[in-house]
Amino acid sequence: MQTAEIHRRWLDFFEKKGHTVVPSASLVSDDPSLMFTVAGMVPFVPYLSGLVPAPFDRATSVQKCIRTNDIEEVGKTPRHGTFFQMCGNFSFGDYFKEGAIRFAWELLTTSEADGGLGFAPEDLWVTVYEEDEEAIALWREHSTLPDERIQRLGKDTNYWSTGQPGPAGPCSEIFYDLGPEYGVDGGPATDDDRYVEIWNLVFMQYEVADVRSKTDFTILGELPRKNIDTGMGLERVAFIKQGVQNMYEIDQVRPVLDRAAEIAGKTYGEDHADDVRLRVIADHVRSGLMLIADGVTPSNEGRGYILRRLLRRVILSMRLLGVEGPCFAELFPVSRDAMQAAYPAVAEDFAFIERAAYAEEKTFLRTLASGIQILDSAVDAAKSANAAVPGDTAFLLHDTHGFPIELTLEIAEEAGVPVDAEVFTSLMQEQRDRAKADAKAKKGQRADLSIYKELRGLGETLFTGYGELVHEGRVL
């Protein structure tokens, strides 16, 4: 089943159930304190929070999302994209737990011939908040899940709150079992990759106060109008329905991966490290395409900086695959062709997208060339002194020349010279601490829009650099 078909079935199903179909909002959220749209609920926050009366009782959407906090997972897990689409159904004081559970079960298990997604019930598991007896009873009543496939989990995974006084409530998540060859038995409670989370149902049920942390607060009582917010990952369902191994192999993403492999002369599936790079390239090219289409351009701060890091990581990954020249002109049109059926704007605005992306590539390739000169002389000096490339040189290259550490390590390794990773890592940490302090100071100057920020417990989407550096399997 093509991704576009799952998209269409989702909207059709919920429209038939009385939901107003709302087009995807931009990746750039209206709220200046939220960097990107990180979930389907973001455009509905004013209605969910009760600040603005909802113009409908029920709504559905397929929302474009960017999650930079998943950047380190991309290509390594089968299920994390920096860009992805979240299918959502929302109730604003209308149906509640029973409706949400019944709709989810019906759509997932109705056969493909009858317009559903055609999942076999025996491949599905659900988790519920351990004290949510109501949800457990409803799953028992409205699904064919045996009790052992309804698992109870704690507040850390199955509770939604903003971290502020206001609405909160339990969640129930639906997982797909990839099968015994993918991991251990025991269901999603094992946290094993064998079970892929496909859909999260959030029951906004309580009003809370005395909030000490996201999981520690006092429940004042039931909300007068309870809401439903759900999110199903379109790419996750697509990869399962398309019988491929991960979300980078679906129809909307795979063509870019193939083109990158072709340019690099690699065969996908032969080498794990190369496969991860190819998946990162395919993911980030698509994110770049979609971000530029929504008006973001590369820059040194905010959203533009995220875009810049994504685009540069594509170039870097291509380089690690052995391709040193420009390649965006080969990759972006392929991503456009894969995405334009769902998002015609990427074709209409392609001239603008191309210009922004290719200019960034040109600049970064120049940066790389000059960084390599600095590194070459540092490597020579280290070699003759029988020493390591100093950590502060690696940091300077990274910080001032935008020269990625992975490349420094690779080049030094080729010359048989180590890099002082300890000093580098501590300089990076200092820089991250500074960025965090800056962000905090800035936050104090803004209007309090905290409810938008802590949506779904995601925290801020501020990007403070790659959290962890991994090179050839070694964590720095």
Q: Which residues are near ligand ATP by CB under 6 A?
A: 67, 70, 79-81, 84, 86, 197-200, 231-233, 235-236, 456
The yes or no reply on residue 461 touching Mg ion (CB under 5 A) is no
**Binding residue for Mg ion, selected from 60, 172, 200, 408, defined by CB under 5 A:** 200
State the binding partner of 284 from ligand ATP, Mg ion, none, CB within 5 to 8 A by kind: none
SS3 256: helix
- Comparing every residue's Cβ against Mg ion, the nearest one is 200
Cβ 127 to Mg ion shortest distance, Å: 9
> What are the Cα distances from residue 456, in Å, to 58, 180, 424?
20, 31, 34
Contact 279, 81 (CB under 8 A): no
Number of residues lying near Mg ion (CB under 5 A): 2
Residue 202, H or E segment: strand 195-213
Residue 90, H or E segment: strand 83-92
State the binding partner of 127 from Mg ion, ligand ATP, none, CB within 5 to 8 A by kind: none
User: What's the CA gap between 75 and 79, in Å, rounded?
Assistant: 8
Can you read off the two tokens belonging to residue 46? 């004013």
State the binding partner of 456 from ligand ATP, Mg ion, none, CB within 5 to 8 A by kind: ligand ATP
Cβ 391 to Mg ion shortest distance, Å: 32
State the binding partner of 317 from Mg ion, ligand ATP, none, CB within 5 to 8 A by kind: none
> What are the Cα distances from residue 56, in Å, to 29, 224, 298?
21, 17, 37
Cβ 455 to ligand ATP shortest distance, Å: 9
Stretch of residues binding Mg ion (CB under 5 A), selected from 138-146, 196-204, 221-229, 423-431: 196-204
How far is it between the farthest Cα atoms of the chain? 74
Cβ 126 to ligand ATP shortest distance, Å: 12
State the binding partner of 285 from Mg ion, ligand ATP, none, CB within 5 to 8 A by kind: none
Between CA 46 and CA 50, with CA 49 as vertex, the angle to 5 degrees is 85
The yes or no reply on residue 158 touching Mg ion (CB under 5 A) is no
Cβ 352 to ligand ATP shortest distance, Å: 26
Residue 413, H or E segment: helix 405-414
Q: Which is nearer to ligand ATP, 200 or 317 (CB)?
A: 200
The yes or no reply on residue 230 touching Mg ion (CB under 5 A) is no
Q: Which is nearer to ligand ATP, 393 or 461 (CB)?
A: 461
Cβ 466 to ligand ATP shortest distance, Å: 16
Q: Which is nearer to Mg ion, 82 or 200 (CB)?
A: 200
Q: Which is nearer to ligand ATP, 199 or 403 (CB)?
A: 199
> What are the Cα distances from residue 86, in Å, to 8, 305, 322, 390, 454?
13, 24, 35, 45, 18
State the binding partner of 92 from Mg ion, ligand ATP, none, CB within 5 to 8 A by kind: none
Cβ 227 to Mg ion shortest distance, Å: 17
Cβ 160 to Mg ion shortest distance, Å: 9
State the binding partner of 64 from Mg ion, ligand ATP, none, CB within 5 to 8 A by kind: none
User: What's the CA gap between 202 and 96, in Å, rounded?
Assistant: 10
Q: Which is nearer to Mg ion, 197 or 399 (CB)?
A: 197
b/e map of 424-460 (b: 16 or more CB within 10 Å)?
bbebbeeeeeeeeeeeeeeeeeeeeeebbbbbbeeeb
R_g over Cα of the chain: 23
Cβ 81 to Mg ion shortest distance, Å: 11
SS3 174: strand
Q: Which is nearer to Mg ion, 197 or 460 (CB)?
A: 197
**Binding pattern to Mg ion, positions 428-447, x when CB under 5 A?**
--------------------
- Comparing every residue's Cβ against ligand ATP, the nearest one is 233
Would you list the DSSP string of 338-364? HHTTT-THHHHTHHHHHHHHHHHHHHH
| Closest to 117 measured CA to CA, from 19, 15, 1, 246 | 1
User: What's the CA gap between 327 and 350, in Å, rounded?
Assistant: 16
SS3 222: strand
According to DSSP, residue 78 is labeled S
Q: What are phi and psi of 412, to 5 degrees?
A: -65, -40
State the binding partner of 67 from Mg ion, ligand ATP, none, CB within 5 to 8 A by kind: ligand ATP
How crowded is residue 240: how many other Cβ atoms within 10 Å of its Cβ? 23
Contact 123, 176 (CB under 8 A): yes
Pick out residues in 304-333 that bind Mg ion (CB under 5 A): none
State the binding partner of 155 from Mg ion, ligand ATP, none, CB within 5 to 8 A by kind: none
Residues that bind Mg ion (CB under 5 A): 197, 200
